[in-house]
């Protein structure tokens, strides 16, 4: 394991051969950003040494905002995008659109976005589904690796099924202290992580700094959930997630909080105790996003 300029650890991103920073830039933060705002974010992540971008076709103009970054720093980033389409033809069209918007002839990782619904899952991974398009695109050199992502309390179990159906190169799913207190989720996450470790599948995690659904709270931030906002709280949450060997953390979808997240990732030393995390839950009145 190595370190980047400001200390964010790097690790092999599964079987891809890429040493990715353990904090990956989640480009959902750029969904409604201007190019000037996006370029300020570029300066932040470059200073932090981040070398992996995770974007999606459905993230507003994010693919367009990332394009100049790829031109300014050619070869620096491992580039991942996603498709929400479930059938091969529509997915292929979306991939071609993503390549044009990103200004590239290929992406490193193409992911099936939020593949959780049972009907969608069966459509995507059966004859005529997006999986066929992904394999063809890989054969043509348009994508190098294929992954699957998801949200919700069921996703760890669903990813386990997905890995039984196809040898995906990466998975992405929620991971934080509060979510892992759900016994069902924790059991499936632990089993999924074991399979991924055995098969050298990269494990990306999201929602490390989620505090609660917005509910009646005032909407003061851009994510669809209320995030932790104080440096000390973010540090505890990021350090807890980074304390799990073999996982990568996607940054949260808030550009103002991004420097705090990256600073915490750069200074990671050891995982907080259960007592520290329980105190955080109580102090910030944290609630699970998924039941």
240-291: per-residue pLDDT in tens?
999 999 999 999 989 999 999 999 999 999 999 999 999 999 999 999 988 7
Query: Average per-residue pLDDT in the chain?
Result: 95
d(CA 185, CA 283) in angstroms, rounded, equals 24
What pLDDT is attached to residue 42?
A: 98
- Residue 196's nearest CA partner among 13, 28, 73, 33 is 13
What pLDDT is attached to residue 222?
A: 65
What pLDDT is attached to residue 249?
A: 98
Residue 55 has pLDDT above 50, yes or no: yes
- Residue that wins the pLDDT comparison between 218 and 239: 239
Q: What's the Cα-to-Cα distance from 48 to each of 10, 23, 25, 67, 74, rounded to whole Å?
A: 12, 10, 11, 19, 17
Q: What is the pTM of this model?
A: 0.95
Find out whether 13 and 251 touch, Cβ atoms under 8 Å.
no
Report phi then psi at 211, rounded to 5.
Answer: -100, -40
Band of residue 4 on the pLDDT scale cut at 50, 70, 90: very low
214-228: per-residue pLDDT in tens?
877 777 666 777 899
d(CA 46, CA 58) in angstroms, rounded, equals 24
Percentage above 70 pLDDT, the chain:
97
| Domains with residue ranges and CATH for the chain | 2-283 (3.20.20.100)
d(CA 237, CA 93) in angstroms, rounded, equals 38
Work out the average pLDDT over 120-132: 98
What pLDDT is attached to residue 221?
A: 65
153-167: per-residue pLDDT in tens?
999 999 999 999 999
């Amino acid at each position: 394991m190595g370190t980047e300029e400001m200390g964010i650890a790097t690790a092999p991103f599964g079987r891809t051969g890429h040493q990715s920073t353990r904090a990956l830039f989640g480009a959902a933060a750029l969904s409604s950003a201007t190019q000037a705002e996006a370029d300020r974010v570029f300066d932040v992540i470059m200073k932090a040494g981040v070398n992996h971008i995770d974007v999606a076709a459905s993230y507003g103009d994010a693919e367009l905002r990332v394009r100049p970054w790829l031109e300014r720093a050619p070869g620096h980033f491992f580039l991942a995008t996603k498709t929400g389409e479930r059938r091969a033809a529509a997915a292929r069209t979306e991939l071609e659109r993503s390549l044009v918007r990103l200004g590239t002839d290929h992406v490193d990782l193409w992911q099936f976005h939020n593949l959780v619904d049972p009907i969608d899952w069966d459509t995507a991974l059966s004859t005529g589904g997006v999986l066929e398009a992904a394999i063809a695109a890989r054969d043509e050199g348009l994508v190098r690796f294929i992954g699957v992502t998801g949200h919700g309390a069921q996703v760890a179990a669903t990813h386990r099924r997905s890995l039984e159906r196809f040898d995906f190169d990466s998975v992405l799913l929620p991971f934080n202290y509060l979510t892992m207190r759900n016994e069902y989720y924790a059991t499936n996450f632990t089993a999924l992580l074991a399979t991924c470790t055995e098969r050298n599948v990269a494990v990306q995690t999201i929602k490390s700094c989620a505090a609660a659904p917005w509910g009646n709270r005032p909407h003061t931030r851009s994510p669809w959930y209320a995030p932790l906002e104080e440096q000390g709280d973010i540090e505890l949450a990021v350090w807890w997630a980074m304390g799990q060997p073999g996982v990568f953390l996607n940054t949260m979808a808030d550009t103002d909080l991004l420097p705090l997240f990256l600073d915490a990732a750069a200074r990671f030393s050891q995982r907080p105790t259960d007592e520290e995390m329980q105190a955080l839950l109580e102090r910030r009145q944290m609630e699970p996003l998924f039941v």
